Amino acid sequence: MRRSSQFCLVLLAFSVLLLSGKNSHAAPPVKIDIPATPDGTIVAICTAVSEGHFEVLWQALPASYQADVKQLLKSFSQQIEPQTKLLQQRNVKTSWSNVISAVGKLSQVLATKQDLLVARPGLKDLLLKNKITDAEVKLKLPIYSSLLDDIQKQIETPEQIEKLDVEQFLANLGARAKELNRVSIKNRPVAFDIEELKKVTAMVKESTPDSATVEISDGKSTNTVQMVKVEGKWIPKDFADSWKRELEKLDKSILADILNGVNITGLVIAYAPIFESDFDRLLKAKNQKEFDLVEMNFWEQEWIIFFLEHP
């Protein structure tokens, strides 16, 4: 129960920070009716997430928290141009367009090289270990490919990143997640089925105007969470207590000097041509032997593994 009852709360904390982009063909986000009570908020969020409406995570955030996320995106976008110039001054031939191209080529690999991927040594063993069938992979990878295509279209320039519509992306992500969830549960047992969140109920045990202790249940077990009201929105107390601290960590990590003035944004730009070249070689492989001969570095391998094994 702890896993299911906390899922939507944890997802609320991380999704808006780690994901960016939107589907240009997606339907507009659905306005979720979130009650002005702590127990009602929990049930509304869990129900919406179970139905694939991840936009509720954005709608449940206090206005200042939404502003913090937008500022974080702005901070990242403003690093792209100066970091690119710094790299070019050091004769590193790269630009943000190489990042965009690498994302696009990875999407093509997932969409068109499924048979070769599942038979590649190491990856094939991973699938067997996790009891993931080839059929499941072939159903899931096109969904991930489409998601990457959506993101690629929305991060082509720093200006686009700064103005990303997080709510719209979460709406699109929710639709994709629902597709992936259905594919997974049809093909094998999964650790967690998001549709189980429909069973979550909540009851206020103690409360003041700005805080509450809420008991959450899915019919199998119970869990207690402390909620606080921030700018009229009820959110988990642990989430509220750590918000500013975690935002500051993320902001510092974006600006941190990793190597002679190059930060994490610069590293992404610097390594993009390598990723782009490797993915291009995978795309050009005509058979399994040619495909397997392409050496993938650690991060490329991890990306592929994520898409293969993630439910």
For the segment 246-271, the average pLDDT, to the nearest whole number, is 90
Residue 33, pLDDT above cutoff 90: yes
Share of the chain above pLDDT 90, in %: 60
Nearest one of 260, 218, 254, 290 to 5, comparing CA atoms: 218
Residue 13, pLDDT above cutoff 80: no
Nearest one of 239, 218, 202 to 3, comparing CA atoms: 218
Alpha carbon 37 to chain centroid distance?
28
Question: For residue 295, what pLDDT is reported?
Answer: 85
Contacts of 183 (CB under 8 A, 6+ apart): 136, 139, 140, 143
Residue 71, pLDDT above cutoff 90: yes
- Local structure of residue 90 (DSSP, 8 states): T
Q: Give this prediction's pTM.
A: 0.82
How far is 114 from 108, CA to CA, in rounded Å? 10
Which CA distances in Å does 77 have to 15, 206, 260?
Answer: 18, 44, 20
- Pair 273, 94: CB distance under 8 Å: yes
Contacts of 10 (CB under 8 A, 6+ apart): none
How far is 185 from 265, CA to CA, in rounded Å? 37
Question: For residue 115, what pLDDT is reported?
Answer: 92
Which CA distances in Å does 254 have to 75, 77, 191, 239, 298?
Answer: 8, 10, 33, 21, 21
- Dihedral angle at the C-alpha atoms of 294, 300, 301, 307, nearest 10 degrees? -120
> What would the two tokens of residue 17 be?
């920070």
Nearest one of 21, 272, 4, 251 to 149, comparing CA atoms: 21
Q: Among 13-27, 130-144, 188-202, 244-258, which range has the highest average pLDDT?
A: 244-258
> What would the two tokens of residue 230 be?
């921030």
How far is 256 from 279, CA to CA, in rounded Å? 29
Beta bridge partners of 138: none
Question: For residue 307, what pLDDT is reported?
Answer: 67
> What would the two tokens of residue 272 be?
């993009």
